[in-house]
Amino acid sequence: MAFSNAVTLGKSLADFGVAFRSGMITSFDVTRAMLDRIAALEPKLQSFTFVDEKNALKHAAAIDALWASGHDLGPLMGVPIAVKDIFSIDGMLTQVGSRLPLDDLVPPQGAFITSLQKAGCILLGKTVVTEFCLGGINLTHPMPWNPCDLTTPRMTGGSSHGSAVAMAAELAGFTVGGDTGGSVRWPAALCGVTGYKSSVSQWGLSGVFPLSPHFDSVGIFTSSAFDAALVEAALRQVPIRKPPLAREMRLAISTNHFMENLDADVADCFSQAIKHLRKAGAQFVEIPMVEASEIDEVFARIVPADLISFLGRDRLRTNWQLLDPVVASRIEKAFDMSIDEYAQLVARKKVLEQLMAERFKGIDAFLSPTVPVVPKPIADFTTVEQASAWNKLATQNTRPANLFNQCAISLPIHHLGSALPVGLQLCATAGSDEMLLATARTVQDILGVS
């Protein structure tokens, strides 16, 4: 990581828990240190839209008092976190990265945020998001700074890039995002952290400002696959699943679509990862994934249509000049979609989900590069056409998991041969989150942590 870290949370959330329960640290002191770190680094990073210092310290003190009185809320008790600005949180404004008036559309706080609070997490504030989560770059909104390079502003991925940057700079114990087409895995890969996209049904979507109900899912950024598995298990209030042995894993790869348009560093890191996994005893099979090419026909047309339906055409027409031009361009293409055309696209998505569920039977995870390229300089993208081309290229490998209704995770692997961040993506059938995270732990144990 590029920034030195004056705050010690330990190597994992489990380490934090041990230190917290032994009295070596308090939630208040760690939260105070995190807030000081945010204040020191935010002028450069610009990853937060709002920092709730007063309430964060108040809640941290209350957690310490609760622990002192003999109450244990579980493994996440006292952990400071940051949340993407699409989640409604009582007492915090929700803007979804937009200048449009949206107060009447913002839902009340939902079950996922409430579950984090009940688990004893300390909400530090909200993180930056691209407008309506529609793509990875805005031309008229500031982009957060990717901590992988302190001299050149580089792409951070989208749309949960504020949470990815905050995690990469260690401004929280873990951070929360949303993933509609790769919006957790994509920035995780480009910022060099772990990013887990849950199954759509895993945590629910109440209290989340929607982009597309057909593809939206909740995700988290962590320092490792172990931490992602710990958070998932803690919120379900179950023990963390034991990871499989390497020889017990049945992994899949594909030579089409996912291996196209790769930077040399990405190709080299992926090749090294597969080599290490084979050597460790993992079993590999090759499966066809030609249906992934339908992301431009099905995914890319349903998503803006869903957003138009939610926002309303009148609101968009009245406030069109307030939209970022990249967002406006994407919305405009779906403005006149017919009901019949939309229904056909949704029906095709359901067929693809069934096809992939059948094809993935007996497979623990499908592996690919998360993003085909390393993070490029932001200065290379100054027009709508350039930004749109980047969005399409960078989500080439992430959108299929949303199209096929899968859970997925991105692990950092740039230590295998790249000076800039590279991610390894693991995808699995919807509902197999626990198994996916256990598999990811074994994979990361074999490959090492960046």
3-state secondary structure of 132: helix
DSSP state of 101: -
Give the number of C-alpha atoms closer than 13 A to the C-alpha of residue 136, restricted to the C-beta side: 36
Is the model's pTM score more than 0.95?
A: yes
- Which residue in 380, 431, 377 sits closest to 236, CA to CA? 431
- Which residue in 371, 378, 306 sits closest to 138, CA to CA? 378
Sign, CA dihedral 434-439-440-442, equals positive
% of the chain surpassing 90 pLDDT: 96
Tokens of 404: 């096929």
Instruction: Please report the pLDDT score of residue 11 as a whole number.
Output: 75
Instruction: Please report the pLDDT score of residue 199 as a whole number.
Output: 97
Distance, CA of 410 to CA of 109 (rounded, Å): 28
pLDDT at 1 exceeding the cut of 60: no
Query: What one-character-per-residue DSSP string does 153-208 give?
Result: -B---SSSHHHHHHHHTT-SSEEEEE-SSSTTHHHHHHHTSEEEEPPHHHH--TTB
Distance, CA of 400 to CA of 221 (rounded, Å): 20
% of the chain surpassing 70 pLDDT: 98
Domains (range + CATH), the chain: 13-289+350-447 (3.90.1300.10)
The tens digit of pLDDT for each residue in 64-95 reads 999 999 999 999 999 999 999 999 999 999 99
pLDDT at 10 exceeding the cut of 80: no
Give the pLDDT mean for 402-412. 98
pLDDT at 433 exceeding the cut of 70: yes
pLDDT at 418 exceeding the cut of 50: yes
Instruction: Please report the pLDDT score of residue 450 as a whole number.
Output: 75
Alpha helices in 184-285 (DSSP H): 185-191, 200-203, 225-236, 264-280
Distance, CA of 415 to CA of 417 (rounded, Å): 5
Instruction: Please report the pLDDT score of residue 449 as a whole number.
Output: 82
pLDDT at 2 exceeding the cut of 50: no
Distance, CA of 367 to CA of 282 (rounded, Å): 12
The tens digit of pLDDT for each residue in 229-244 reads 999 999 999 999 999 9
pLDDT at 124 exceeding the cut of 70: yes
The tens digit of pLDDT for each residue in 15-25 reads 999 999 999 99
